[in-house]
Structure 1
């Protein structure tokens, strides 16, 4: 049996979440916008429950949660949705990092093309952006700071709380792509984090749903403008009929993530220990700061083993990735590892291993045996 170890691409669906999705897809199929009958009322209630569950996971208010199709849409809404207001206020300086997902890099590229000045921060080999790197660049013209929570390729956790604390008193909006960290790693509860992007399918929920948490400052909401028009749903920020079954699934996944965070972390740490112990006898390099990383991810280069050749050798044993799912179909060196300064030969060998609390123990003897013919000291 092939063991799935590509959970940063997508996680398995938690069984209890699947049951909720099926209920609101097959039985309670009303439209949350229907006001004249009980089917609509029950759908509306399910959405309200999910809004509360998502908000609770980051200590936000339910009215601050906007449902979207996932973190990619949330990132676009957060970044491009602020653009007009930032221009009007003369806040045309943006700070972000070279480690971001393409769903942040490309919207910020668009801002840059429209005249915004962008500072792209780079890490060292630890793969971590440090708070002072960000805060030293903040000026009176800074309108947006966008730093990811957990890197999708290395699992390294950025110091979001320290960045948020350092931004107190500043005008800049702080946006965090939390697709990989929501429900798994602490660091998202500060009231100074203005915008948080999340995806259901990264936290054992369904694909096709996510949320943007848009926190108020006092009574003021972030001045977002919609990217689409055509309906009044989600305070006019995201028009279209709400997918109640997906939203209810995201809510349940959020609830379970909070309720079982510690036991899930312990199980994932066990797998991480098994994995790192299992590869200790072969020449390898782990990329990123292992002291500041999640329990679910290791990015490793096995010396001499080209990643493409390694994937062939491991077929039928484990399902893993040689990069982010959004780019691995057309293989190119990881922009994350490149930004970290990883040597080209190590980038060519790098494999991302990611698992969950639902993952069985990895067959380390079989993995090492499959890789050994490719290795050199």
Structure 2
């Protein structure tokens, strides 16, 4: 049996979540926008309950949850949606980091092309941006600060608490791409100074094709987001289109289960991490990123003198890993994350990301080591 170790790309759907989704596909299939009959009204109730469930996991209000197709769309709505506000007020400075996901970096580049000044903070081999560097870059005309909760390639957790605290007296909006930490490390996301949070269901054992943007109010004022698409007015006008009720119901159940089962899942992931490190120890892997601030289910390594593609081929049929973000794997570009960490090029070319979950069965690490040694 091949062991899947690419959970940062996507997690399997929990069987309980899959059952919930199929129930709504086959039995309660109404359109949540159809208020004139029972099927539509039931669908609307399902969506409202899902909104309340997800909001509760982040200490948000129900009406602050905007359903999207995933974190990428949520990132785009949050970042590009603030553009008109920056143009209107003259606040055209944005602070972010060089290790953000492309779903953040590319919208930021589009804003830069339209006249915004985007400042990307670099960082060292720790893979963890210094909160003081982020805060030092903030100016009077800063519209937005965008920092991911944890990096998708290294698993390194970013200092959100210090950044949000440092922004306490500033008007800049704080956006967090939390695709990799939602359902796994929610506490920093419950801070009400975090204005905008991007979520994706398929990273937390839910279905692909659904996510959410949390758009927190400041007092009574919502973040001044301009919709990117129009037509229908759903999701408070920010994301029009028929709501995918089965996927939303599945997302809510996945979020609820992650919250309820968090201690057990965390312990299982930590134990598996110990097994991975012990199993690969004979190969003397170089581990990237500060392991004191790393998610327990992620490991980014380089095997000295070996190319990542060769290792993945050697492990075929045994374990499945990646050599970067799933969203950019087709391009075969060197990792911009590791480059921003000043990792040497030969190590970048040999870098592998292993990511697992509480559901992952044991791997045959002795065989994995033997296959790699056969390459040398």
Tell me the TM-score range normalised by the shorter chain.
over 0.9
Give the TM-score normalised by the residue count of structure 1: 0.98
In structure 2, runs of 5+ residues without a counterpart are: none
| In structure 1, C-alpha distance between the alignment counterparts of 2:373 and 2:296, rounded to whole Å | 25
| In structure 2, C-alpha distance between the alignment counterparts of 1:198 and 1:65, rounded to whole Å | 10
Please tell me the root mean square deviation across aligned C-alpha atoms, in Å: 0.8
* Residue aligning to 1:142: 142
Q: Following superposition of structure 1 onto structure 2, how do residues 353-372 of structure 1 map, counting pairs within 5 Å?
A: 353-372=354-373
Partner of 2:143, secondary structure, is strand
* Residue aligning to 1:192: 193
Shift of 1:196: 0.1
* Residue aligning to 1:226: 227
| In structure 1, C-alpha distance between the alignment counterparts of 2:330 and 2:228, rounded to whole Å | 28
* Residue aligning to 1:51: 51
* Residue aligning to 2:87: 87
* Residue aligning to 1:216: 217
Partner of 1:188, secondary structure, is helix
1:6-26 Cα distance to aligned partner (Å, 9 max, x none): 001100001111111111111
Shift of 1:36: 1.2
* Residue aligning to 1:167: 167
* Residue aligning to 1:42: 42
Partner of 1:281, secondary structure, is helix
Is the 1:175–1:196 Cα contact (8 Å) retained in structure 2?
yes
| In structure 2, C-alpha distance between the alignment counterparts of 1:259 and 1:62, rounded to whole Å | 19
Partner of 2:105, secondary structure, is helix
Is the 1:334–1:347 Cα contact (8 Å) retained in structure 2?
yes
Of residues 320-329 and 217-226 in structure 1, the stretch that sits farther from structure 2 once superposed is 320-329
* Residue aligning to 1:279: 280
Is the 1:304–1:374 Cα contact (8 Å) retained in structure 2?
no
Q: Following superposition of structure 1 onto structure 2, how do residues 262-273 of structure 1 map, counting pairs within 5 Å?
A: 262-273=263-274
| In structure 1, C-alpha distance between the alignment counterparts of 2:368 and 2:100, rounded to whole Å | 30
Shift of 1:41: 1.2
| In structure 1, C-alpha distance between the alignment counterparts of 2:294 and 2:57, rounded to whole Å | 20
* Residue aligning to 1:68: 68
* Residue aligning to 1:26: 26
Give the TM-score normalised by the residue count of structure 2: 0.98
| In structure 1, C-alpha distance between the alignment counterparts of 2:358 and 2:180, rounded to whole Å | 15
Shift of 1:362: 2.1
Partner of 1:362, secondary structure, is coil
Shift of 1:222: 0.1
Partner of 1:280, secondary structure, is helix
| In structure 2, C-alpha distance between the alignment counterparts of 1:61 and 1:89, rounded to whole Å | 27
Aligned length: 375
| In structure 1, C-alpha distance between the alignment counterparts of 2:284 and 2:168, rounded to whole Å | 45
* Residue aligning to 1:156: 156
* Residue aligning to 1:235: 236
Partner of 2:374, secondary structure, is helix
Partner of 2:331, secondary structure, is coil
Q: Following superposition of structure 1 onto structure 2, how do residues 249-328 of structure 1 map, counting pairs within 5 Å?
A: 249-328=250-329
Is the 1:159–1:187 Cα contact (8 Å) retained in structure 2?
no
Shift of 1:330: 2.2
| In structure 1, C-alpha distance between the alignment counterparts of 2:130 and 2:58, rounded to whole Å | 22
Partner of 2:283, secondary structure, is coil
Runs of 4+ in 1 over 6 A off after TM superposition: none
Is the 1:174–1:194 Cα contact (8 Å) retained in structure 2?
yes
| In structure 2, C-alpha distance between the alignment counterparts of 1:363 and 1:21, rounded to whole Å | 34
